[in-house]
Amino acid sequence: MTSHNRPERVAQMVQQLLGELFARGMRDPHLGLVTITGVKMSPDLREARVFWTVHGDSEQRKHTGKGLQNARGFLRHEIGMQLKLRITPELHFTYDEAIDRGERIEQLIRQVHDEERTRIAAPATPEHEE
């Protein structure tokens, strides 16, 4: 394989490892429902942008973001120990808004369908006879 595929392969390994760490459980209860949706590595493998989401409201999202920042050192240490990379990447956590956008689009589509069904089901109003 060529070296330009390496960042993608390392990103997959980091995502899988982080998913396993969260599945096993972390000390911070705010991290229990976090899902890692993707990882993007820098070409030199020194930085990893970790995309995440969590089920819950904006307050839950805020607490989870803080929990991820607090756990960053531990998670980085685990990545270094288990993946045995020459350089352990710095982790940068970014909330993945794609799921929220998808849910909003789905909600709008349902609303349009419901309105259309209501319009079709409503009896036609009789026109004035002359």
Considering just the CA atoms, what is the radius of gyration of the chain in Å?
23
Q: What is the pLDDT of residues 27-77, one digit of tens each?
A: 777 677 889 999 999 999 999 999 999 888 888 899 999 999 999 999 999
CA nearest neighbour of 7 among 107, 87, 126, 99: 87
- What pLDDT was estimated at residue 108? 79
* Global confidence as pTM: 0.74
Please tell me the CATH superfamily of domain 3-120, with its number. Answer: K homology (KH) domain (3.30.300.20)
Cα separation, 127 vs 106, whole angstroms: 37
Contact between residue 11 and residue 41 where contact means Cβ atoms under 8 Å apart: yes
- What pLDDT was estimated at residue 110? 82
Query: Which residue has better confidence, 87 or 102?
Result: 87
Tokens of 97: 């808004």
